[in-house]
A and B are shown apart, each in its own frame.
Chain A
Amino acid sequence: MSVGIVSYGAYIPRYRIRVEEIAKVWGANPNSIVDGLMVYEKSVPDLDEDTITIAVEAARHAINRAGIDPQEIGALYTGSESHPYAVKPSSTVVAEAIGATPNLTVADFEFACKAGTAAIQTCMGMVDSGMIKLGMAIGSDVAQGAPGDALEYTAAAGGVAYVIGKKDLVANIESTYSFTTDTPDFWRREGMPYPEHGGRFTGEPGYFKHVASAAQGLMNKMGTKPSDYDYAIFHQPNGKFPMRVAKMLGFSSEQIKPGLVVTRLGNTYSGSCMMGLAATLDIAKAGDRIFMTSFGSGAGSDSFSFTVTDRIEEIRNGAPSIEKLMANPIYIDYATYARHKNKIKL
């Protein structure tokens, strides 16, 4: 495969709420929540931020990082579970806001937390076939967690954009493999503000089955094993799941460490894996091999194998790193958080 990542960019809102702050309101024991989830705090959008504004900022960072001419982008896809409109794509606003219009194709994606990686695969195909020169795949979310529900502790906000092309790659995409079944582990009906989930059902039949199958499937296809990789990123609904699946597959905690952003950020849903990949690219060296497997409830997983090129050093500093984006957070209390997330019914 001769396609790969030309550039990447991310955006994380400044506000944070600590797990203890949420636990306090619902009378839960903060220590057991933190221990159980391995998440300390999550990002919260500002009053005037949403999936689209986050996607635009991430996309602009991706463009700036590698000095891309937005007019060369032939396709742009935004994946999210929290598109501001049910009908009217987020991607048209993003395309307009990065100056990529009008000569491109655009659509929105949804597949729970793996909408962004599905968009990457689509761009790969379009680039490889020669249909487009560059494609942009974005995963962006302002995730909703019902008040008092377990998901409230981890449903976070953030977005990541990847530009896929054939030339000037910072990482080659060697191969991709996906595993998909109809598994109703988590969903949200049209018009409902918060998702429903199957509790423990989201674990084995959901996350673990699909992530493990996709990961194993890719390694079988490529004839690779965990020790062939320098880094690995797995979808991060909390800190525990990716560590467990890594162990199951034979990856070490060292390999997944740089990409494990969920502990300080929460689960950015469509941006989750892609955020972990960005954090890894921020520190990777030429020749490093990276393994990534996403998971979207519903359910499915997309697995990827990357090799970093020496171009990463040239363009890395063209946009803020994940560490820089996570610096200087502003901590808020539950009341302010509820105001920011429109949880207060007017």
Chain B
Amino acid sequence: MSVPRFWRRLKNIYNLIGTHCNKCGSFLYPPRNMCPKCRRNGMTTPFKFKGFGEVVTYTIVHTGAKDYTKLTPYILAIIKLEEGPRLTSQVICDHSQIRIGMKVKAAFRKLGEESEKGMIYYGTKFVPMED
């Protein structure tokens, strides 16, 4: 991902800042400037999520994505945040521990880097609540 594209979203991905539609009350993460329910009639404002959620589904990726080949095998999961929206992230825990319904919380980790000379991407992954 290019530098400007990552930079534009960095506050969101570091701090789990999404949007809240004041019209229908929907919580949206990833952030959107148009509420999918209300469309033009919606009123969206930034909203910081607490970072607690539970695992909806997961997989253990053995053949990694481009920036993640050094991290395999890693747990990729869809997590439902307490406030409602679902997001895709990694869960850092023992592979025998991961299960649907596991309670997790946000952790700040390195997502990858462009190259040895390039930018380092940071963001939010998840760890078990008990950690």
Contacts and interface: CB of A to CB of B under 8 A. Distances in A.
User: In the complex, are there CB atoms of A and B closer than 8 Å?
Assistant: yes
A48 B110 contact: yes
Contacts of B92: 46, 48
Contact of B108 (A47, A60, A99): A60
B11 A96 contact: yes
B78 interface: no
Interface string B69-104: 011000000000000000000001010000000000
A97 B70 contact: no
Given A84-B120, A93-B122, A97-B122, A50 B110 contact: yes
Given A96-B14, A97-B15, A49 B110 contact: yes
Interface stretch (A51-59, A196-204, A251-259): A51-59
Given A96-B14, A97-B15, A57 B122 contact: no
Which size class do A's interface residues fall under?
Answer: 10 to 19
Contacts of B38: none
B20 interface: no
Interface string A84-100: 11000000010011010
B109 interface: yes
Interface of B: 10-11, 14-15, 48, 70-71, 92, 94, 107-111, 120, 122, 125, 131
A47 B122 contact: no
A53 B120 CA distance: 11
Given A47-B71, A96-B10, A96-B11, A85 B108 contact: no
A111 to B, nearest CB: 23
A160 to B, nearest CB: 16
Nearest to B106: A60
Given A84-B120, A97-B122, A48 B11 contact: no
Contacts of B10: 96
A97 B108 CA distance: 8
B46 to A, nearest CB: 11
A118 B7 CA distance: 31
B115 to A, nearest CB: 12
Given A56-B108, A93-B14, 7 more contacts: A48-B92, A48-B110, A52-B110, A53-B110, A56-B122, A84-B120, A99-B15
Nearest to A56: B108
A93 B15 CA distance: 11
Contacts of B70: 47
Contacts of A85: 120
B42 to A, nearest CB: 25
